[in-house]
């Protein structure tokens, strides 16, 4: 019992910033827009930023930090998509649904939700490093705001560089028209992020191609059998769908696919 409590105490604390980012991302991805849900019949009070009553630079700095935090939260969905493993998960699951031919099953909410939690699972070591190297010292007032930003971005940059193709990285370095850096870690985030997104899309399309091949073979076999039997009016997709589902279940497709995707980031 004591060991259990000690392990629980050793886990990193959930920071309010990550909780806010999670809530905002969930609202965005699941199509829940506050302005549409609450606009009718409810008056939302206006928020005004007034700096007249502030007496010192410290109070002004606190107010500007609040404005900066709100700006970051508004960009949180885009950051979650472009700087994490979310892109690969969402694209591959969409390819899988199209390859199976199940139309809207699983629905978009399930695909996005699964991709979101798998992203949290894959990015957990990165966020723990950010918490340990940036958030904790910043809360203890041992580092400045600029040091907090630099330390917070460094683990994300390292993660993206490990998953980025060298050719894609060289493409954006050449287009930036800057001097060639000595090492990838010295590149700016504005160069690493688009190269990382392109690399993620390439890998997701490659995995999607491999997913399509066995299901296309099933479609071709079913179509050939139906044609040989003279059943030309029966859609082959209607007959092949149960066989594709059976094939996917027999090989334990979800566990195999999710396990391969998660392991591809290590």
φ and ψ of 13, to 5 deg: -70, 145
Query: What is the number of alpha carbons within 13 Å of residue 166 lying toward its C-beta?
Result: 1
The Cα–Cα gap between 100 and 120 comes to: 27
Look at phi and psi of residue 199 and say left if phi exceeds 0, alpha if psi is from -120 to 50, else beta.
Answer: alpha
| pLDDT in the model for residue 90 | 93
Residue identified by tokens 């904790």 is 136
Q: pLDDT at position 75, please?
A: 74
Q: What is the pLDDT of residue 10?
A: 43
Tokens standing for residue 76: 């949180």
* pLDDT averaged over 10-residue windows placed end to end, the chain, 266 residues: 44 47 46 44 51 49 66 74 90 92 87 92 91 86 83 88 89 81 80 92 93 90 86 80 90 92 89
> Could you tell me which of 265, 164, 246, 256 has the C-alpha nearest to residue 211?
256
* pLDDT at residue 93, rounded to an integer: 94
**What pLDDT is stored for residue 96 in this prediction?**
93
The pLDDT value given to residue 12: 45
Helix (H, G, I), strand (E, B) or coil at 193: helix
pLDDT at residue 4, as a whole number: 41
Residue 210: what pLDDT?
A: 92
Cis omega (within 30 of 0) on the bond before 106?
yes
pLDDT at site 160: 92
Coil, helix or strand at residue 187: coil
Q: What pLDDT, on the 0 to 100 scale, is given for residue 34? A: 43
Q: How far apart are CA 71 and CA 223, in angstroms?
A: 54
pTM for the model stands at 0.70
């Amino acid at each position: 019992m004591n060991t259990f409590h000690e392990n629980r105490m050793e886990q990193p604390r959930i920071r309010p910033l990550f909780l806010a980012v999670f809530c905002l991302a969930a609202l965005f991805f699941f199509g829940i827009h506050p302005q549409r849900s609450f606009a009718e019949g409810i008056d939302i009070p206006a928020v005004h930023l007034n700096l007249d009553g502030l007496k010192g630079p410290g109070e002004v700095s606190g107010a500007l930090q609040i404005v900066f935090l709100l700006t970051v939260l508004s960009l949180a969905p885009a950051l979650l998509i472009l700087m994490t493993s979310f892109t690969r998960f969402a694209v591959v699951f969409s390819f899988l649904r199209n390859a199976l031919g199940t139309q809207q099953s699983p629905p978009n909410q399930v695909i996005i939700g699964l991709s979101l939690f798998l992203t949290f699972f894959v990015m957990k070591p990165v966020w723990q490093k950010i918490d340990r190297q940036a958030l904790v010292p910043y809360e203890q007032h041992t580092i400045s705001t600029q040091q907090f930003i630099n330390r917070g971005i460094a683990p994300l940059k390292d993660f993206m560089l490990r998953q980025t193709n060298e050719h894609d990285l060289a493409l954006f370095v050449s287009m930036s028209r800057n001097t060639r850096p000595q090492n990838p870690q010295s590149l700016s985030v504005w160069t690493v992020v688009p190269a990382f997104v392109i690399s993620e899309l390439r890998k997701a399309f490659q995995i999607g191609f491999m997913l399509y091949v066995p299901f296309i073979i099933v479609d071709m076999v079913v179509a050939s059998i139906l044609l040989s039997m003279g059943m030309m009016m029966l859609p082959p997709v209607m007959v092949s769908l149960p066989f594709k589902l059976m094939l996917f279940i027999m090989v334990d497709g979800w566990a195999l696919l999710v396990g391969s995707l998660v392991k591809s980031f290590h």
